[in-house]
Amino acid sequence: MRYRTIGTDPATRREVSVLSLGAMLFGSATDEATSYAILDRYVEAGGTFIDTSDNYAFWVDGGQGGQSEELLGRWRRSRGVGAEIVIATKLGARPLAPGTSYLDNAEGLPATVIRESAERSRDRLGVERLDLLYAHIEDRAVPLQETVEGFAELVTEGTVGLLGASNHRAWRVERARALAAAAGLPGYEVLQYHRSYLPNRTDLPSDLDPDGEPGGVSGDLLSYLRAEPELTLVAYSPLLKGAFTRADKPLSPAYDLPSAPRRLKALGDVAGQCGATVNQVVLAWLLGGELPSIPLVGASSVAQLEESLAAVDLELTAEQRHRLDTAW
């Protein structure tokens, strides 16, 4: 395993593995025994960066979520896991009532909710401090200043370490960070967005934003990351939920771009040269790029996790990376 540092403040920054494990369906669609086996193997391989949310996975049973955090709490206690494992969680998109969703009844990001939801997450996970806490989705009904101050208060109190944002417009991230900096407060340092080797259309209207999908890595966000190298990008759904390799998982129309056939061919060619799988090449491309990302991978079996773990040691040559980067 390899590692990198996220965050800049010596008091809150953490060293984490370059491959993050997503626990979205642990404790719900993925049963406890399987979840434990995946978590144990990830840690055995040197993995130290686990991702969850307070709303995972409300859609499985029509509830409000929390199953993933609860399972991680049980796993931590049963294995004696301490501060050596960094667990990131999110708030803001938890449904306020069973049978609803973040689209029509989200908890949002007022200061009171930030405090109450963070406390619930700490209780479920069994930790005194959340290592990394994300604003899961935007909440434009609440003044951004209130949200910024609400998160910063938890860092100042010591119940949260690092702050991050997911599924936000780049301008909203920058505005929030500017407000925090002007007030001398901690701000967002980790950004979690969807990124893979195949680009997807971010201009199509989405459930979250009529102007397009805010959760995908856009040109604006890439430009922002180039200008702010202290920020960390965590890339969720890098393997497109199996669509690179499984016939029963067709690509979404959002990836139906003119470049897709050429990029898929380049992936296959490089995978053949490396003696690796297409999925492993995708992860290696993200890990070692000009703007390196931390891939956030899910797994429903130990075998799936093993494939992803092997990508950490896959070094693409300059020629192979050029082949991938120029396939447009």
Q: What is the pLDDT of residues 42-51, one digit of tens each?
A: 999 999 999 9
Query: Mean of the per-residue pLDDT values for the chain?
Result: 97
Q: How much is the average pLDDT of 128-147?
A: 98
pLDDT, position 22: 98
Rounded percentage of the chain residues whose pLDDT exceeds 70: 100
- Residues in contact with 104: Cβ distance below 8 Å, sequence separation at least 6, in sequence order: none
Question: What residue type is assigned to position 311 of the chain?
Answer: A
Question: What residue type is assigned to position 304 of the chain?
Answer: Q
CATH 3.20.20.100 for domain 3-252+277-316, yes or no, is yes
Secondary structure (DSSP) of 17-58: ESSEEE-TTBTTTB-HHHHHHHHHHHHHTT--EEE--TTTTH
H/E element holding 162? strand 160-166
Secondary structure (DSSP) of 91-142: ES--BSSTT--TTTSB----HHHHHHHHHHHHHHHT-SSEEEEEE-S--TTS
Q: Give the model confidence (pLDDT) of 6-23 as tens digits.
A: 999 999 999 999 999 999
Of the listed ranges 125-129, 255-259, 279-283, the least confidently predicted one is 255-259
Domain boundaries, the chain: 3-252+277-316
Q: Give the model confidence (pLDDT) of 223-236 as tens digits.
A: 999 999 999 999 99
Q: Is the dihedral of CA 170, 176, 181, 186 positive or negative?
A: negative
Res. 260 pLDDT band, cuts 50 70 90:
very high
pLDDT, position 320: 98
Q: Give the model confidence (pLDDT) of 155-196 as tens digits.
A: 999 999 999 999 999 999 999 999 999 999 999 999 999 999
